[in-house]
Structure formats: C-alpha cells, structure tokens
Chain A
Amino acid sequence: MSVGRLLGVGTGLLTLTLLAGCAADPGSKPVDVAGGVPVGAVLALTGNANVYGQDQKIGLELALQHRNGAGGINGNPLKLALEDSGSDEPGANAAFTLQINRGVLALIGPTLSQQAFSADPIAQRRGVPVVAPSNTATGIPEIGFFISRVSAQSSVIAPLAIERALKIQPGLKRAAVFYAQDDAYSTAETTIFQKALKEKGLDPVTVQRTQLNDQDFQNQISAALREKPDLIVLSLQAVDGGNLIRQLRELGYKGLIVAGNGMNTPNIYPICQKYCDGLLIAQAYSPELDTPANTAFLKAFQAAKGGAIPPQLTAQAYTALQVIGDALVRLDKRQPLKGATLTAARKALMEEILAGTYATPLGEIRFTPEGEVIQSQFFVAQVRMDPGGRSGRFALLK
C-alpha cells in the first residue's frame, strides 16, 4: 500500500466514522423527564469574562435549590446542566449545541452579548427557549421569538448613573469617556453613555479607546488627564476596567468615576482594591428591596456566602432560572411535559415564559412579546471599600 493510498483510505475511514457519529436532532423524541426536568445553562467560567460566570453560577445553584426545595416541577425535580462557554463565540456555539442535543427544554446564557449574537441564532433555529441573564446590548431579544432576557438593556440603566453623578456634584463640566473598542458590550454601552452625557450638556472632552485584553492604560490615561476631566465614564469589563481605575487613581485623578454594567461585580475588589472606592454604578438589583422573593434569595445567598451582599449578576441569574422554573410549573399543570415531544414542549414553554408575571429578587418582572424584560425599579450604587482595601460593598444611594 503506497503512502498516497494509505492517506486516501485513512481520510475515507475518518469521514465515515465522523458522519456515523453525528448526533441526530432529538427534537422529535419525547421529553426525557426520567432524571428530572432538563434545563441547560451556558456561562463564561473561563477566559476574561470568568469573573461574571462565577457570580452567575452561584445564582443558578441557589435558584435550583429553591425550586427543588419547593417541590420542583410539580413533584419532579428540576435538573440543571451547566457548561462552560469560555469567553468567546465558538465556545458559546459549541456549548449551546451540546446542551440542545442533550435535550434541554430551555437554556440560560450566554454570559456576554458578543457570544449571544453568535450562539442565540442556533437556539432560535432549533426552537429552544433562551433566557439571557446578563446580555445588555441592544438587539438581543430581536434575534428571534425564542430569545428573551431578564437583564435590562443598558439604554435603560446606564443614564441613571450619570444623573446621579450630576446630583452629587452639580458643577461637572468636563467628562472623559473610556471604552474597549474591540468589545461588543463596551462599544454598545459607550454610545448610550455618550448620548446621555450630551443630553445633560456634558459633551465629552475626550473619548479614549482601549482593547479588551490591555493591561497597561498609561497612554490613554495621560492623554485624558491632559484635558483636566472632572468626571470619567467607563464602559469596560471587570478585569480591564479594574486595572484602568487603579492606574487612573495612581496617576492622580481625584474626581468622580462612573462605570457601566461590566464592572457590576464584587470581583473587581481584588483588582482595583482601595482604588475602587467611590465608583458609581447603576443597578438593576437592590439587596434592600423588601419583597418576599428578595428576602428568600438574600437569606439563601448569605447562608451560602457568609453574610456577603449578593451582586446583580447573581440576582439576575437566579431570576433567569426562577422564570424558567415558574413557567415550567404552570405549563406542566396545563399540559403535562411527560409524553410531549421536545419540539412542542420547547415552543409551549417559550409562550408560557413570555405570558407570565414573576415575583423575583429583581422585583416584579414580565416580558414584552419580543422577550425584552419589563422591570419597574432601578438603582444607583456606590462602591465603598473597607479600610484595608481587600473587601467592600455596593452601597445603594437613596
């Protein structure tokens, strides 16, 4: 056998094995509720967005405990399969496909808006409901009928922090803006921030572009500080944003800093440490909300994390699984899941999700027919670091 023929035969065999191994679409099979009602989650547990995924994972675990403690889906427990998507699009696509082939009824995720634009169309084509816990960019629910989110989009939340900054310091004149030009979330949010600034008569004196994976921001900061800004507005993710704040303060900036949703996690504390202090961030969640749903969530979180205050990402992830759980309970009562085909059950579940009103830790929420969340209350928090600079909290501003 010649080497050429060997290669030909090898390629042929490889092709056959690979094709034979292709998983068939389980959509026409009945829902497999034997080991519990299957729901999938896809989070960024590795890569530069892992700090968000960690917060979200706790939220999902708590919501799962809560749901199964309250009888699961009418007596059958909810079964959650969690997969890591990394922080990029191919990872999210692969994890989504894997979960869909496993036969999950609904998906939670992915963590980043950028990943959602790539992975959500897969779920839409296969007819699998998606509840996004943290995508804030414009245009996510518009991907299709099966895509919804519990995270309010940045155009609703972001301007609140600017308003608050002007309330704290009415004389603000010179705003400087930073954003990561290679990141979908950052570029989408900075447009909203810049529009809000202009509406308040605060035309940015400088707009500095960074890169998502940058560590050193000395050039951009020096250029911005030459313009003598009294307000700095950041649309950056947790790791690059935390580093930029530390360097800003080290280079002598004393004024107010407003950050976007990307830094809305206590995981920034170890990055910017004492320099995080005073950071203003608009919130879609308030730990002080006095409703039974939030009290239960708060209690469960504090029991698990030794009295810490839950971050927004955790509350939103909890909400996402709660929404799916509540909708499943209602659906199962109306038309039992057992025996229904997967495709039919998924479609009915999506209709059920959109139709409901939910008492969640975020307050009472419901959805537009497109799948956009309708939430009544938003908040602004300021980071207060402990004297040692090791730990801190998001203090709500009244």
Chain B
Amino acid sequence: MDAALLEQMLLGALLALSVYLPLRCGQLSLATPGFYAVGGYVAALLSTGVPAFAGSGATSPLPALLAEMVLGGALAGLIALAIGGPVLRLRGIYLAIATIALVEILRVLNLNLPFTGGAMGIFGIPQPFAHAEGYVLFTLALLALACWLCQRLEALRLGRAMAAIRDDELAAACVGIDTPRTKLIAFVASAVLAGVTGALAAHFFNSWNARAGSFDASITTLAFVVFGGSRLWPGPVLGGLVLTALPELLRPVGDLRLILFGAVILLGPLFFPQGLVTAERLHWLAARLGRGRHRGRQAPQAP
C-alpha cells in the first residue's frame, strides 16, 4: 500500500474520531470539517506568511508544524467554545442543521476573507517531511494518542457522564451531571482534534482552500462513524480508514469503482445498523482470541 494513501486514511480516522466525540455524548454535530478547515488555514497562513514558520521555503521545521497544530487546534477550540453555548441548546437533527450552517458560514468566510486566497486558496505550503512516510509515522503517533485518550475516557468520570447523557439526558441531569458543561467539553474536544488534523493535512495536501470544509465533507465524515459504529472509538477509526481507502483500492474495477463504493456505504448500515464495531463483536473476538491463551479460565470482564 502506498504511503500517501495511508496518510489520507489516517487523517480520515482522526476526523472520524472528531465526529465520534460529540456523538459519544449523544450530540450529532457535523461541524468537524469547519474546524478542520480552520486548522488548515492557520497552518497554511503561518507557514507561507511568517518567516519563522516557513523555514527554507521548501521545507519547514518540525517544531513549526507542532506550533501550528497547537495554534490551529486552539483557534478551532476557541470558536467551538464561543458558539458551543447557544448551539448545544439544540438537540438531534436541529443541532445537526445548526452545525451544517456553521460549516457553511466558515466556508463562505474563507472564500471571501482578504487573506485566505479566495477559491484558489493557499498553495506552495512548505513540507516538514521529505516523504509521505514521515507524515504517516507522525500521524500514526497522533492517532495513537487520540485513541489512547478515547480509551482513557471510558474509565474517567467525564467519559461515564458523556455515556450517561447519550443514554438519557434527563436522567443524567437528575443524578447531578452538569449536562451543558459535559456536552461543551465534548464539542470543544472534537473541534480541537479537527483543528489539529487540519493543520497537519494542509502541509500534506500542499494546498488548502475552502473546499476542505464543505457540506460534502460533513457527510463523508459522518459516514465514517455510521459505517464503523458510533458506540466505541475503534468504530470510527475503522470507518475512517476503510472508507477513505476504498475508492483507491477499488481502482482495478475501473469505471464501476464509485458505484461499488456507493453500494458498500449503502449495504454497511443496512446489514450492520450499529456499525461494524460493537461491544458484542469485540467481546466475541476477544473471547475467541483469548481461548487459546486462557484455556479453562473464564473470559475476563471488559473494562
């Protein structure tokens, strides 16, 4: 498999996790591509406009990339913090519509602001890595960190509060969970992750423009989660990896590839309404694999 495709898959998995975080709390937010675009613009503007970030022009230093990721994530997080209060009063499909509107507003702003380069966007973004393999290792580390944090969440009070809100918001509020605050934390975390991913993606794609954050992208990232499963973090990661890779892996079938891709997206939720990854399937798999090692012992309880 080619490293560039692998990098796109990993970026897809990170975006899927960003959609998953609010969903973990029962909030259907489609704002991820908006924050992704914001993070990308931060990186693109800094690395093409500020000499300290630009390096030699063709290559940029790694600390600059890290700083851009922090700044991109911070700006996306601040935007989420500012609008999260009013927006998160909405529920279900209304929240989805409001977040689509947010993505559209950010897109039109990016197209028309004087410094974002209009439709052409910003190109000639310097590269921190000479080869795609460098990006892959770096993104893999970022994805591993994001996955580890998601796994930690299962054991934390915050994570359990989020799960409680997803299952029944009213009941969660009755047992003393600060529901608005918990939902806001999930929303901001999602924005930060998308912003950080965008800063990395802008370098990888060489150019950045408003099409990074479009309605189409909202739907694509949502499909990652629907396909992979929205209850456990491995679901979105799997969905992001598979659905990003599929159009490229299907190239040998020629003209039919996008039709097949569409069929997979259609059939996935039809046969696996909960997504590919569910707790039962993971336990089944764990029991199967564990049987050889723990012969005669009872399968241990899941964390």
Chain A residues packing against B (C-beta within 8 Å): 1-4, 6-7, 10-11, 15, 18-19, 21-23, 25, 45-46, 83-84, 86, 88-91, 93-94, 97-98, 101, 114, 117-119, 121-122, 125, 137, 143, 180-184, 186-188
Main secondary structure of the interface of A (DSSP, over half): helix
A21 to B147, CA, bound (A): 23
Question: Across the interface, do A184 and B120 meet the contact criterion of CB distance under 8 Å?
Answer: yes
Distance between A22 CB and nearest chain B CB, rounded to angstroms: 5
Contact residues in A for B294 (Cβ distance below 8 Å): 1
In the assembled complex, the CB of B231 is this many whole angstroms from the nearest CB of chain A, namely: 12
Given known pairs A125-B127, A182-B210, A187-B118, the reply for A18 and B1 (CB within 8 Å) is yes
Residues of B within 8 A of A15 (CB): 140
Tell me if B's interface is mostly helix, strand, loop or mixed: helix
Asked whether any CB of chain A lies closer than 8 Å to the CB of B302, the reply is yes
A19 touches B136 (CB 8 A): yes
Residues of chain B within 8 A (CB-CB) of A25 are 131
Instruction: Judge whether B3 and A3 touch: CB under 8 Å.
Output: no
Q: Which of B118, B120, B133, B211 is most buried by chain A, counting CB atoms within 10 A of its CB?
A: B120
CA distance A18 to B127 in the complex (A): 22
Q: Are A6 and B282 in contact (CB under 8 A)?
A: yes
B residues less than 8 Å from A18 (CB atoms)? 1, 6, 136
Q: What residue in chain A is nearest B258 (Cβ atoms)? A: A46
Q: Which residue of B lies closest to A2 (CB)?
A: B300
Alpha-carbon distance between A122 and B129 when the two chains are bound, in angstroms: 12
B277's closest neighbor in chain A, by CB? A7
Enumerate chain B residues within 8 angstroms of A91, measured Cβ to Cβ.
Answer: 247
Residues of chain B with a CB closer than 8 A to A3's CB: 282-283, 286, 302-303
Give A17 Cβ to nearest chain B Cβ, in Å: 9
Inter-chain CA distance A180–B132, complex, in Å, is 33
B2 and A1 contact, CB distance less than 8 A = no
In this complex, what residue of A is CB-closest to B255? Answer: A45
B75-105 contacts to A (CB < 8 Å): none
Min CB gap B282→A, angstroms:
5
Task: Say yes or no: A97 contacts B119, CB within 8 Å.
Answer: no
Of the listed stretches B28-36, B192-200, B201-209, chain A binds B201-209
Does residue B181 face the partner (Cβ distance < 8 Å to A)?
no
- Alpha-carbon gap, A4 to B285, bound state (A): 12
B133 — which chain A residues lie within 8 A by C-beta?
22
Check B303–A4 contact: CB distance below 8 A: yes
Given contacts A117-B207, A187-B118, contact A6 B6 (CB under 8 A): no
Of all chain B residues, the one with the shortest Cβ separation from A18 is: B6
Per the bound structure, the CA–CA distance linking A143 and B125 in Å amounts to 11
Given contacts A2-B303, A137-B120, contact A117 B206 (CB under 8 A): yes
A97 near B289 with CB under 8 A, answer: no
A11/B127 in contact, CB under 8 A: no
B4 at the binding interface (Cβ < 8 Å): yes
Note all chain B residues with C-beta closer than 8 A to A143. Answer: 124
Complex CA gap A23/B2 in Å reads 5
Verify A89–B120 contact, CB threshold 8 A.
Answer: no
Identify B290's interface contact among A1, A4, A88, CB under 8 A.
A1
Q: Determine if B205 and A90 form an interchain contact, defined as CB atoms under 8 angstroms apart.
A: yes
Q: What 16 new A-B contacts, CB under 8 Å, besides A137-B120, A182-B111? A: A1-B286, A1-B300, A2-B303, A6-B282, A18-B1, A22-B1, A22-B3, A83-B251, A88-B211, A97-B5, A117-B120, A118-B205, A121-B123, A122-B206, A143-B124, A182-B119
The contact of B121 among A21, A94, A184, by CB within 8 Å, is A184
A6 and B286 in contact (CB under 8 A), knowing A93-B205, A187-B118, A187-B120?
yes
Q: Is B266 an interface residue (CB 8 A)?
A: no
Q: List 11 A-B contacts (CB under 8 A).
A: A1-B293, A1-B294, A2-B286, A6-B285, A7-B282, A10-B234, A22-B1, A117-B120, A117-B121, A181-B119, A182-B119
The chain B residue sitting closest to A47, CB to CB, is B258
The reply to whether B206 and A121 contact each other, CB–CB distance below 8 Å, is yes
Chain A residues with CB below 8 A from B248, complex form: 94, 98
By beta carbon, the residue of chain B nearest A17 is: B1
| CB of B56 within 8 Å of the partner chain | no
For B111, list chain A residues within 8 Å (CB): 181-182
Contacts of B190 in A (CB 8 A): none
CB closest residue in chain B, given A101: B2
Please, which residue of chain A has its CB at the minimum distance from the CB of B234?
Answer: A7
Is B209 touching A184 in the complex (CB atoms < 8 A)? yes
Q: Which of B1-28 contact A (CB under 8 A)?
A: 1-6, 8
Decide: B120 and A188 in contact? CB cutoff 8 A. yes
Which residues does chain A contribute within 8 Å of B131, judged by CB atoms?
25
Task: Flag whether B274 is at the interface (Cβ < 8 A).
Answer: no
Contact B151–A186 (Cβ < 8 Å): no
Within 8 A of A (CB), among B261-283: 282-283
Bound CA span A180–B289, Å:
55
CA distance A301 to B293 in the complex (A): 68
Q: Does B173 contact A (CB under 8 A)?
A: no
* B144 proximal to A (CB < 8 A): yes
Q: Which of B112-156 contact A (CB under 8 A)?
A: 112, 118-121, 123-124, 127, 130-133, 136, 140, 144, 147, 151
Contact partner of B207 among A1, A4, A118, CB < 8 A? Answer: A118
Q: For the complex of A and B, list the 4 residue pairs with the smallest distance between their C-beta atoms, beginning with the closest.
A: A1-B290, A97-B4, A117-B123, A121-B206
Chain A residue numbers with a CB within 8 Å of B147 are: 7, 11
In the complex the two chains form, is A121's CB within 8 Å of B286's CB?
no
- In the complex, what residue of chain B is closest to A83 when comparing beta carbons? B251
Q: Is A11's CB under 8 angstroms from B144's CB? A: yes
> Which residues of B are found within 8 Å of A2, using beta-carbon distances?
286, 300, 302-303
